[in-house]
């Protein structure tokens, strides 16, 4: 009998919950796992400095974040979503449909993707085309002609004679990761485009072009190592002949164990990513639901903190964490966007 009373009490309290969930005083942030390390630092500083509650940040991936963000305008949806790519027009439309009409887009900086190996092995110097040939599922027939064959390359020097005679073994993130998307788009497609007849296909059959350029081989040369970049670094250390794909911040934190390859003459360094000469880099964003600014205390202050020179400026604390900053003019433009809550139009 006692248990029955208890159970009833619980179910009653559950019902009363709905009312309480409506008002909240913490900023809710979701989105990209690449932006997560930066957003969390800002959130922590903001919480300590301002006296507001520390924002809650979930790492859901860019796509997952957009889905939650665009689900509706109510206070039970996130206020901000981080993204390691720009919002897609389909996502924008979904937002509009669900009443999320007033969004501000803020770019926070860049992220480079490193193609790295252990320091015990020689540093690789290669091009994006080499990466494409080594990792794509289907590659142009080396004998010539406009024909695709299953990837025949087993060692790096088969791809490019100047590379060492190592078996092709690349540890990288799984398809659910934004890093993988960016790698496919920037490195593989970048190399794929160098083949003229595949490039010509882009206009005729975009779908086929994409599938040729983005599909990674599945014969064991590319090893999905999970979302954990630390694990990839550790594995590279124990296997000097393997290569790894991960974000620049992990390269920077572990540069006594691993080295980034030189891609088309540019090493993955702070300066080369910032000026855009390192070819595998991407912009990072967050999107703000302006309608929540009134209801959530401190939201505007958080945005101001994020876009302050002390945070994302040339010598800000986010830079210490591996973020590549925007140019000075761009940073000023972002601050203006925050100040005026500029609406994103697509």
Site for another protein (CB under 8 A): which residue of 264, 321, 333, 341? 321
Residues 102, 289: contact at Cβ < 8 Å? Answer: yes
Compute the distance between CA of residue 206 and CA of residue 199 in angstroms, rounded to an integer.
Answer: 10
* Nearest Cα to Cα of residue 171 among 94, 114, 112: 114
C-beta closer to another protein: residue 47 or 240: 47
Residue 227 contacts another protein per CB under 8 A:
yes
**Closest approach of another protein to the CB of residue 19, in Å:** 10
Site for another protein (CB under 8 A): which residue of 3, 203, 204, 207? 3
Strands (E), 196-252: 222-224, 243-247
Tokens of 116: 């790295």
Tokens of 154: 């087993």
C-beta closer to another protein: residue 43 or 135: 43
Compute the distance between CA of residue 250 and CA of residue 207 in angstroms, rounded to an integer.
Answer: 33
**Closest approach of another protein to the CB of residue 203, in Å:** 41
Residues 268, 111: contact at Cβ < 8 Å? Answer: no
**Closest approach of another protein to the CB of residue 304, in Å:** 16
Tokens of 133: 């040939």
* Nearest Cα to Cα of residue 146 among 206, 214, 207, 212: 212
Site for another protein (CB under 8 A): which residue of 12, 32, 47, 300? 47
Residue 40 contacts another protein per CB under 8 A:
yes
DSSP state of 186: I
- Quick note: the x/- pattern for another protein over 70-109, rule CB under 8 A, is ------x---------------------------------
C-beta closer to another protein: residue 193 or 321: 321
Compute the distance between CA of residue 238 and CA of residue 236 in angstroms, rounded to an integer.
Answer: 5
Residues 141, 148: contact at Cβ < 8 Å? Answer: yes
C-beta closer to another protein: residue 121 or 221: 121
Judged by DSSP in three states, 155 sits in strand
Compute the distance between CA of residue 164 and CA of residue 167 in angstroms, rounded to an integer.
Answer: 9
Compute the distance between CA of residue 99 and CA of residue 94 in angstroms, rounded to an integer.
Answer: 9
Residues 130, 159: contact at Cβ < 8 Å? Answer: yes
- Quick note: the x/- pattern for another protein over 299-318, rule CB under 8 A, is ----------------x-x-
C-beta closer to another protein: residue 26 or 239: 26
Residue 277 contacts another protein per CB under 8 A:
no
Residues 169, 241: contact at Cβ < 8 Å? Answer: yes
DSSP state of 98: T
Tokens of 332: 């000023």
Residue 36 contacts another protein per CB under 8 A:
yes
Residue 185 contacts another protein per CB under 8 A:
no
**Closest approach of another protein to the CB of residue 234, in Å:** 9
C-beta closer to another protein: residue 76 or 327: 76
Q: Of 14-33, which residues contact another protein (CB under 8 A)?
A: 14, 17-18, 20-21, 24, 26, 28, 33
- Quick note: the x/- pattern for another protein over 230-259, rule CB under 8 A, is x----------------x-xx-xxxxx---
Applying CB under 8 A, which residues contact another protein? 3-4, 6-7, 10, 14, 17-18, 20-21, 24, 26, 28, 33, 36-37, 39-41, 43-44, 47-48, 51, 53-54, 56-59, 76, 227-230, 247, 249-250, 252-256, 315, 317, 321-322
């Amino acid at each position: 009998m006692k248990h029955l009373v208890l159970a009833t009490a619980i179910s009653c309290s559950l019902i009363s919950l709905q009312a309480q969930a409506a008002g909240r005083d913490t900023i809710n942030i979701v989105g990209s796992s690449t932006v997560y390390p930066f957003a969390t630092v800002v959130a922590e500083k903001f919480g300590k400095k301002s006296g507001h509650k520390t924002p809650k940040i979930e790492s859901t991936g860019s796509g997952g974040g957009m889905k939650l963000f665009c689900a509706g305008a109510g206070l039970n949806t996130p206020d901000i979503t981080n993204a390691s790519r720009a919002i897609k027009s389909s996502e924008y439309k979904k937002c509009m449909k669900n009443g999320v009409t007033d969004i501000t887009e803020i770019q926070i900086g860049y992220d480079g993707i490193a193609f790295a190996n252990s320091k015990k092995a020689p540093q690789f110097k290669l091009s994006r085309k080499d990466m494409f040939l080594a990792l794509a599922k289907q590659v142009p027939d080396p004998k010539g002609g406009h024909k695709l064959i299953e990837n025949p390359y087993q060692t790096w020097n088969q791809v490019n004679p100047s590379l060492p005679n190592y078996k092709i073994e690349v540890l990288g993130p799984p398809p659910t990761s934004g890093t993988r998307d960016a790698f496919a788009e920037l490195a593989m497609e970048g190399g794929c485009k160098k083949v003229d007849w595949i490039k010509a296909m882009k206009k005729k059959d975009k779908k086929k072009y994409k599938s040729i350029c983005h599909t990674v081989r599945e014969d064991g040369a590319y090893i999905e190592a999970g979302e954990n970049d630390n694990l990839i670094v550790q594995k590279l250390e124990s296997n000097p002949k393997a290569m790894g794909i991960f974000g620049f911040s992990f390269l920077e934190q572990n540069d006594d164990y691993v080295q980034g390859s030189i891609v088309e003459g540019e090493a993955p360094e702070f300066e080369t990513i910032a000026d855009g000469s390192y070819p595998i880099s991407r912009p990072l964003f967050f999107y703000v639901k302006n309608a929540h600014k009134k209801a959530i205390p401190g939201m505007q202050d958080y945005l101001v903190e994020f876009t302050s020179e002390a945070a994302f400026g040339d010598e800000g604390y986010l830079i210490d964490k591996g973020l590549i900053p925007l140019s000075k003019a761009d940073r000023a433009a972002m601050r203006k966007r925050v100040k005026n809550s500029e609406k994103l139009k697509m």
